[in-house]
Structure 1
Amino acid sequence: MSGSEVAGLAAARRPRVTEVEQHGIDTIPAAERTSRPFDLFRIQFGGANTFATVILGTFPVLLGLSLVEAVAATVTGVVVGALILMPMGLFGPRTGTNNAVSSGAHFGVRGRVLGSFLSLLTAISFYSISVWVSGDALVGAATRLFGTGDSDLLRGVVYAVLGALVILVVVYGYQLMLLVNKVVVLANTALMLLGLVAYASLVDLGYDPGPDAYALGSFWPTFVLSALIVMGNPISFGAFLGDWSRYIPADTPPPRLLTATFLGQLATLVPFLFGVGTATLVAGEVDYVVALIQVSPLWYAVLLMVVAFLGGMSTGVTSLYGTGLDFSSVFPRLNRVQASLVIGTLAFVFILVGRLVFDLLASVNAFIGAIVICTTPWMIIMMIGYWVRRGYYSAADVQVFNQGRVGGRYWASGGFNWRGMAAWIPAAVVGLLFANYPPLIEGPLRDAAGGVDVSLPMSIGLAAVVYLALLFAFPEPRYVFAPAGPRFVPAADAPLPPVTDDPRASVHRSARRTPPESTQEPLPR
């Protein structure tokens, strides 16, 4: 069959944007993997090219850094976070499912619920941030343009409309989400670049509030905290990259996937630096979004409403989509659509409580800290596991728990691989002990390095050392590795547990069996 014929068949199989996606976390058949690494780039950039990212970009200035220092902290956070994130795009094409389910290969098919929890934490955080700041921008613009006034009721109504539209896109699924992000990549980039014109006469390139403004008392602790908050954005994609990369063919060269992820995150410097620059214009104001609307030229205030709406849709959709997938596998009575509705409703309640009752700055700071500390060691364990196994995975066996069965390559001990869990738990705990995300996360050891937050290197280092030590001390069975054998670590001989039906499992799971076409294992590289 010629290349044009193959391309024609792939196009014919691509679902229409208006079709409700039928796949949950089941393996995507090869014939339906019609996406490219460029789509992975576009979804990441589109999902982050929003006011939610702009808000994160304001934190270095809000914490007391000068403009130059804030730019340096922002670039550092984005680049380091992107380097850590890059390998997480490799799992989806190999397993045909999302990263939480793929993590079952290293945490056990039941232990993968840890990944589902981390994705839930991330989804609620970024869905909430996106609706909060986008809603506030719309309210601020309406107040200035139409004199509507500001009130909790008006904000609640705007939040509800934005939240409902996000859930609607999530219900339709991947193809509509891809379209939304295509629009956002172009539209929001153009609108933010127009900000260079709008604020050219207002920005003070020498902005420096002085050393007394440092939130943590001195430069380095404040600089590191700022970089970690920025880093939370790329790290937050770790649990979600597989949601989108699973639609990419299994034989896609890894360098293309790594490059797409790194460039996708590097492109987010557009909204980040927009936030850094504009934060200097309204420094000291309680509400950044509303204050920015007030100092903007009238023509750009109108455009900010467009940026806010498109951005809220994009970030909210990319955050909520993957968690709906995961939730439906953990609670098998719910399909993807039902699970998305449940999670969306819970997240909306959190939005109202968090925005109208608690301090937004403290809430964002705490959730970003929790995401960085808890998700990064999970990612490190996944990456080490990928490397020692030479990228070899059984697409069928990672689905065992989701289908109400037991056994297979990744069953380990009752569905839990204690090696991965035993490495993650102390890494996350130690990270929290050293963390310094005031005022809600302040670990008892936060001053161990002179006030500099060392929670990330501590959690990364501990996760890597403990996991590798356990792989050496307690070798995994040979059947989990590629035919060429493990890389660097030893393997143990053991019989492969047969896959059988679990009599305790729900009939709803057994109805979701992976079709034979989709159980083909990708060839190891």
Structure 2
Amino acid sequence: MSIPLDESPIARPRATEVEQHGIDTIPAEHRHSTPFDLFRIQFGGANTFATVILGTFPILLGLSLWQALAATVVGVLVGSLFLMPMGLFGPLTGTNNAVSSGAHFGVRGRVVGSFLSLLTAIAFYSISVWVSGDAVVGALIRLFGISDSDVLRGVVYAVLGALVIIVVVYGYVFMLLVNKVVVVGNTVMILLGVLAYSGKIDLSYNPGPDAYALGSFWPTFVLSALIVMGNPISFGAFLGDWTRYIPERTKPSSLMLATLAAQAATLVPFFFGVITATLVAGEADYIVALINASPLWYAVLLIGVAFLGGLSTGITSLYGTGLDFSSVFPRFSRVQASLFIGAFAFLFILVGRLAFDLIDSVNAFIGAIVICTTPWMVIMTLGYFVRRGHYSAADLQVFNLGLRGGPYWFDNGVNWRGMAAWIPAAIAGLLFANYPPLIEGPFRNAAGGVDISLPVAIGLAAVLYLAMLFLAPEPRYVFGPDGPRLVPAREGTPTEVVEDPNASSHRQIIRNRKAEAEAVEELTEGQSHA
């Protein structure tokens, strides 16, 4: 599968330059990325021990090896189909997906996307530091005979978490460099597992029907696929963080192909997790048990896999949330917001790892992400389709600049068509969810124990959103010169863009930040000329 490179002639900044852009519109002269970069950053962010851990769940839930592999393929494929359109917004709007969602939820209502971004970032940042830190600790115990303790784990978590935050502070180009290394390095080290565990793998592994976590095959299979599906879905709120640096002229097919290829490539770490989970089935701590079951030379390599992987997943998760948090709370710059979210997430790691069961926590978080994010993605995709991909980049920034009005102002900054579809869909999904023991909806047994929360959330979001577009047509000016596709529109005039009297301090902060960025850019250009 080849990915068109669409190489841009625009010079890319040095990785050691601190990124100056926040969620403001990226100008054409700074669009230095390609669809191949999108492939690398997605695959690098998922080619990690966090994904390996998700791959162990089908085995932990009682499936046989081949059933687990099938559930994994289904989860990755279905999740990828929902994810693929989410890379289309960044090149058109020049900003992240949360801000882009203002076209369908309103420039204030887009905080829904910000919330989902925050939830996903905390979950996957925590998972990456947890599992990577545990792998490093397990290797240290195996190699040097160090005694395990909460203090040791806390120190390792802190080192990994701090390194993630450092990379995030530098920004997109540094993050892209790290993921380039991870794509190659971790893939090679994971594939070497074939040699390390040769002769130990039992292709006929099957614990039998009594092992099914939910009592029978189909409920357990569906739950396993949904947990796996959480990995591609988790990128939904973040693709715009990276595609905003891709030129607007880039073909949509190239962007979607890059996403599909990246998610298909994640089957490498997923399958590693599935297969190795059969080697240590029944052990309380998968990571430590796997390291103890590994040849010494491979136990050393697993430290590298864990370290690079934790760094990669952590930065791809935390970077976007820092961007978005700084726009919702303008007193925070991108760097300050990243530091704040990183510190909060680290506290969550310590509490979650030491006070709760890791497996249950991961299970519940992934379930909540899938159920809440997928209907939001469905609404965004349908909105893109009926709008024919037409967006006004400048008008999406109204709220961020302390202004009000414009075509996406709708009802005081909220488009209730999107909100009226997402809120009931997310609630209904949670009511049908079955992610024991932390999320067990009252209707979880409506289909004989099979988790139908996702079909319910997706179907309800699609039906309600389309119904709203027909019952309360959007104004014609949001559809662009070619008009709407398949839905009606009403006549209207967009609200004039004016300064928001309640956001004077907001605007002053924006002006100061812009002046600082321009000064840094002038200094950088002067140094390069010198």
Structure 2 counterpart of 1:307, from 305, 308, 313: 305
Specify the alignment match of 1:519 in structure 2: none
Give how far 1:7 is off: 5.7
Structure 2 counterpart of 1:121, from 115, 119, 122: 119
Deviations 1:265-303 (A, max 9, x none): 110000000000000000011110001000000000000
Specify the alignment match of 1:354 in structure 2: 352
Question: The residue matched to 1:487 in structure 2 has which SS?
Answer: coil
Q: How far apart, CA to CA, are the structure 2 residues paired with 1:320 and 1:133?
A: 16
8 Å CA contact 2:476, 2:483 repeated in 1: yes
Question: The residue matched to 2:502 in structure 1 has which SS?
Answer: coil
Question: The residue matched to 2:279 in structure 1 has which SS?
Answer: coil
* C-alpha spacing 1:364/1:250, structure 2 compared with 1 (3 Å): same
Q: How far apart, CA to CA, are the structure 1 residues paired with 2:498 and 2:509?
A: 15
Question: The residue matched to 1:233 in structure 2 has which SS?
Answer: helix
Deviations 1:334-375 (A, max 9, x none): 000000000000000000000011000000000000000000
Question: The residue matched to 1:249 in structure 2 has which SS?
Answer: coil
8 Å CA contact 2:43, 2:262 repeated in 1: yes
Deviations 1:378-434 (A, max 9, x none): 000000000000000000011000000000110000000011000001100110111
Specify the alignment match of 1:91 in structure 2: 89
Specify the alignment match of 1:254 in structure 2: 252
Specify the alignment match of 2:505 in structure 1: 507
Q: How far apart, CA to CA, are the structure 2 residues paired with 1:281 and 1:82?
A: 29
**1:1-20 paired onto structure 2 within 5 Å:** 10-11=10-11, 14-20=12-18
* C-alpha spacing 1:7/1:178, structure 2 compared with 1 (3 Å): closer
Deviations 1:126-148 (A, max 9, x none): 00000000000000000010011
Matching residue's letter, 2:89: F
Question: The residue matched to 1:149 in structure 2 has which SS?
Answer: coil
1:474 aligns with 2:472: yes
Q: How far apart, CA to CA, are the structure 2 residues paired with 1:36 and 1:52?
A: 26
Q: How far apart, CA to CA, are the structure 2 residues paired with 1:305 and 1:110?
A: 44
Specify the alignment match of 1:338 in structure 2: 336
* C-alpha spacing 1:370/1:492, structure 2 compared with 1 (3 Å): same
Q: Using structure 1 for the length normalisation, give the TM-score.
A: 0.96
Matching residue's letter, 1:369: G
Structure 1 counterpart of 2:283, from 271, 282, 285: 285
Give how far 1:506 is off: 4.2
Question: The residue matched to 1:500 in structure 2 has which SS?
Answer: strand
Specify the alignment match of 2:524 in structure 1: none
Structure 1 counterpart of 2:381, from 373, 377, 383: 383
8 Å CA contact 2:331, 2:509 repeated in 1: no
Give how far 1:149 is off: 1.2
Matching residue's letter, 1:45: F
Structure 1 counterpart of 2:34, from 36, 39, 59: 36
Q: How far apart, CA to CA, are the structure 2 residues paired with 1:194 and 1:464?
A: 44
Matching residue's letter, 2:428: V
1:72 aligns with 2:66: no
Give how far 1:510 is off: 4.8
Q: How far apart, CA to CA, are the structure 2 residues paired with 1:37 and 1:77?
A: 23
Deviations 1:139-176 (A, max 9, x none): 00000100111000000000000000000000000000
Matching residue's letter, 2:99: V
Aligned length: 507
Specify the alignment match of 1:416 in structure 2: 414
Specify the alignment match of 1:369 in structure 2: 367
Question: The residue matched to 1:485 in structure 2 has which SS?
Answer: coil
Structure 1 counterpart of 2:206, from 201, 205, 208: 208
8 Å CA contact 2:280, 2:286 repeated in 1: yes
Give how far 1:511 is off: 4.7
Q: How far apart, CA to CA, are the structure 2 residues paired with 1:466 and 1:63?
A: 34
Give how far 1:503 is off: 1.1
1:232 aligns with 2:218: no
Give how far 1:508 is off: 3.5
8 Å CA contact 1:51, 1:308 repeated in 2: yes
Question: The residue matched to 1:168 in structure 2 has which SS?
Answer: helix
Matching residue's letter, 2:24: D
8 Å CA contact 2:105, 2:418 repeated in 1: yes
Matching residue's letter, 1:330: V
8 Å CA contact 1:332, 1:506 repeated in 2: no
Deviations 1:448-477 (A, max 9, x none): 001000000110000000000000000001
8 Å CA contact 2:398, 2:405 repeated in 1: yes
Specify the alignment match of 1:521 in structure 2: none
Matching residue's letter, 2:92: R
Q: How far apart, CA to CA, are the structure 2 residues paired with 1:306 and 1:486?
A: 51
Identity of aligned residues (%): 77
8 Å CA contact 1:278, 1:292 repeated in 2: yes
Gaps of 5+ in 2: 1-6, 515-530
Matching residue's letter, 2:14: R
Q: How far apart, CA to CA, are the structure 2 residues paired with 1:128 and 1:302?
A: 23
Structure 1 counterpart of 2:145, from 144, 147, 158: 147
Gaps of 5+ in 1: 1-5, 516-525
Deviations 1:96-134 (A, max 9, x none): 000000000000000001100000000000000000000
Deviations 1:208-227 (A, max 9, x none): 00000000000000000000
Give how far 1:200 is off: 1.2
Specify the alignment match of 1:522 in structure 2: none
Q: How far apart, CA to CA, are the structure 1 residues paired with 2:101 and 2:365?
A: 22
Q: How far apart, CA to CA, are the structure 1 residues paired with 2:268 and 2:508?
A: 46
Question: The residue matched to 1:19 in structure 2 has which SS?
Answer: coil
Q: How far apart, CA to CA, are the structure 2 residues paired with 1:93 and 1:199?
A: 44
Q: How far apart, CA to CA, are the structure 1 residues paired with 2:86 and 2:504?
A: 31
Matching residue's letter, 2:462: A
Specify the alignment match of 2:265 in structure 1: 267
Question: The residue matched to 1:499 in structure 2 has which SS?
Answer: strand
Question: The residue matched to 1:407 in structure 2 has which SS?
Answer: strand
Question: The residue matched to 1:204 in structure 2 has which SS?
Answer: coil
Question: The residue matched to 1:145 in structure 2 has which SS?
Answer: helix
Q: How far apart, CA to CA, are the structure 2 residues paired with 1:281 and 1:40?
A: 34
8 Å CA contact 1:26, 1:512 repeated in 2: no
Q: How far apart, CA to CA, are the structure 1 residues paired with 2:97 and 2:265?
A: 23
* C-alpha spacing 1:216/1:7, structure 2 compared with 1 (3 Å): closer
Q: How far apart, CA to CA, are the structure 2 residues paired with 1:303 and 1:315?
A: 18
Q: How far apart, CA to CA, are the structure 2 residues paired with 1:484 and 1:102?
A: 20
Question: The residue matched to 2:494 in structure 1 has which SS?
Answer: coil
Matching residue's letter, 1:150: D
Give how far 1:201 is off: 1.2
